[in-house]
Amino acid sequence: MPEEPIDIDLEISALEAENLPPELAPESAPEPVPEPAADLDLVEQERAEGEVAVYDPLVHYLAEVRRAPHLTREEEHRLAVLYREHEDREAGARLILASLRVSVIIAMEYRQTGMPILDLIQEGNVGLLQSLKKFDPHRGIRLNTYASWWIRAYILRYILANWRLVRIGTTQAQRKLFYNLRKEQRRLEAQGFEAGPKLLAEKLDVREKDVIEMDARLGSWEVPIDQPIRADSDTSLGDLLPSPGDGADETLAKRQFADLFRRKLAEFAGALSERDRVILMERIVADPPKTLQEVGSRFKISRERARQLEARILRNLRAFLRTSIPDLDSMGILPLPGDKRRGGRRPPPNQAS
């Protein structure tokens, strides 16, 4: 399912750290990037401290980013006009290359989330591309200042979609609730109200069910089912979960009943005439069953007569089983298989065999 287009106004509202859980808040207060001359030396220095590596993809990427020249305000304006008014792709490429360092600086602010830094940079670059499509060079602001909001919005959405195994905030409505739920709770509690789901739903104009679901998601964390219950134990959490299938006792009981039903059915069939036995085994028990027309053609009787014989055999079988198996009614087996007018189901003999 393709992701819905990003709502930049909604995502920008989340850039205030007080609206975010601690895991998603940037290390420093988010501010627009006023100039393109962001210093990448600090990023490289931090990356290199305490590390010895033959090849580091991030360092290599930073070296490539450095090769793009900075643009003056006049150059940027000229290129932006060419791209906006004349769809000059080369001008657009120069603008993007000159602004790639902004994605790096902003992505580094979110490295404490545990996401791969190159993934954050890449997502920021997607936001940078989107910002260029919306950028108006005649409004008197630099591209990097405008793009920084888009870059942050896309990085934040990426983190929100991947910081848990069970995704939350997959739609704009969910992201709106995610960004504002905790803030509204604090506001109501500061005013002396009890911030319950019903009141929050009214204030945020959402369903009470959605508030309860989002509150549960924000207040819990995923735990791998293969995680040991203790450091010195080989028993995992999954070993303690109940099996989704039947228990051993129930499985044994069903098998024993299927054997009993099969024996009683064979006993009943042995006392029937050949015609009635064929109707029982090929019309009532068989899956798929023969049609009334096929039964009538075999014994040279009408479809109505075949139906009457089937009904009589079913009545006799029902009475025989009730006598032979006292607890049959409590087991939910009757009405018997083949009795379509009563909603019957196929018998255990075929299921268990």
Degrees to nearest 5, angle at CA 299 with 296 and 301 = 50
**How far is 155 from 110, CA to CA, in rounded Å?**
8
Phi, psi of 236 (to 5 degrees): -100, 165
Residue in 192, 188, 218, 219 with CA at minimum distance from that of residue 203: 188
* pLDDT, position 118: 92
Q: Taking the CA atoms of the chain, what radius of gyration do you get in angstroms?
A: 35
* Listed residue (282, 316, 314) closest to 298, CA to CA: 282
Nearest C-alpha neighbor of 113 from the set 156, 72, 73, 148: 156
Helix (H, G, I), strand (E, B) or coil at 191: coil
Q: Which of 301, 258, 247 is nearest to 279 (CA)?
A: 301
Can you say how many angstroms the Cα of residue 291 is from the centroid of all Cα atoms in its chain? Answer: 46
Q: What per-residue confidence (pLDDT) applies to 96?
A: 95
Whether CATH 3.30.1490.20 fits 8-163: no
Confidence at residue 221, expressed as pLDDT on a 0 to 100 scale: 60
- Hey, what amino acid is at 257? F
pLDDT score, position 29: 42
| Distance separating alpha carbons of residues 31 and 15, to the nearest angstrom | 9
Name the nearest CA neighbour of 48 among 40, 37, 56. Answer: 56
Closest CA to 133 of 178, 75, 172, 80: 80
> Whose CA is closest to 105, among 11, 157, 36?
36
Contact 90, 99 (CB under 8 A): no
Name residue, tokens 């079913």: 314
pLDDT given at position 257: 82
pLDDT of amino acid 36: 40
Check residue 336 and report its DSSP letter: P
Query: Residue written as tokens 């490295």?
Result: 111
Contact 330, 322 (CB under 8 A): no
The pLDDT of residue 17:
39
What are the backbone angles phi and psi of residue 228, rounded to the nearest 5°?
-60, 145
Class of 248-352 in CATH: mainly alpha
Give pLDDT, residue 249.
78
| Token pair recorded at residue 106 | 């902003």
Distance of CA 188 to the CA centre of its chain: 31
Q: What is d(CA 113, CA 245) in angstroms, rounded to the nearest whole number? A: 39
CA atoms within 13 A on the CB side of 28: 8
Task: Return the amino acid letter for 284.
Answer: I
**Distance between CA atoms of residues 349 and 353, nearest Å:** 6
The C-alpha torsion from 153 through 155 and 160 to 164, rounded to 10°, is 180
Tokens of 210: 């959605």
> Which residues of the chain are modeled with pLDDT < 70?
1-54, 163-173, 219-223, 243-247, 328-353
Give me the residue spans of the domains in the chain.
8-163, 174-218, 248-352
Alpha-carbon distance of 297 to 112, in angstroms, equals 79
